[in-house]
Amino acid sequence: MPRYHVVEAGRVVNTILADGPNSLPGALLVLDNGTAEIGWVYDDGVFSPPSPTPGPVPAVVSDRQFFHALAISSLITEAEALAAVRTGDIPTALQVVIDALPEPERFPATMLVSGAVEFRRDHPLVEAVRLARGMTVSEVDDLFRLAGGL
């Protein structure tokens, strides 16, 4: 008896032995060609492995990792990243966000960005930058994942 993959919503949800593709009424059965597994994507007659699940988001990254990731992501220039790490210069994109903060929050934000040796994902300034740049939560998480790997 041949093996078939049970496909629901474009994903392999099970593999069964069946007499033919119409053996399970209401289900899409696709003959197993030996390449797919449960969890694989089925689209237009082709099986492909699922996209890898992103790893955990680091809670903290170093200043070097943070500014390096910003540069790799083209959010700041390489020169700005080097200046931030070497001398604490604040990249223009971050300075714009700081300048838009209420007056009592500007000095602490300036001290943080120019002097921190690490950046926390859950810091309110990270959220302020996210909103000011129009970034999604996932994009910021990906930025911290990138930074954590540098």
pLDDT tens readout for residues 48-86: 998 888 899 999 999 999 999 999 999 999 999 999 999
**CB–CB of 66/119 below 8 Å?**
yes
Please report the pLDDT score of residue 51 as a whole number. 85
Average pLDDT over residues 3-24: 92
pLDDT at 26 over 90: no
Lowest average pLDDT, out of 38-42, 49-53, 113-117, goes to 49-53
Q: What is the 3-state secondary structure (H, E, C) of 9-68?
A: CCEEEEEEECCCCCCCCCCEEEECCCCCCCCCEEECCEEECCCCCCCCCCCEEEHHHHHH
Taking all residues of the chain, what is their mean pLDDT, rounded to a whole number? 94
Q: What is the mean pLDDT of residues 2-30?
A: 91
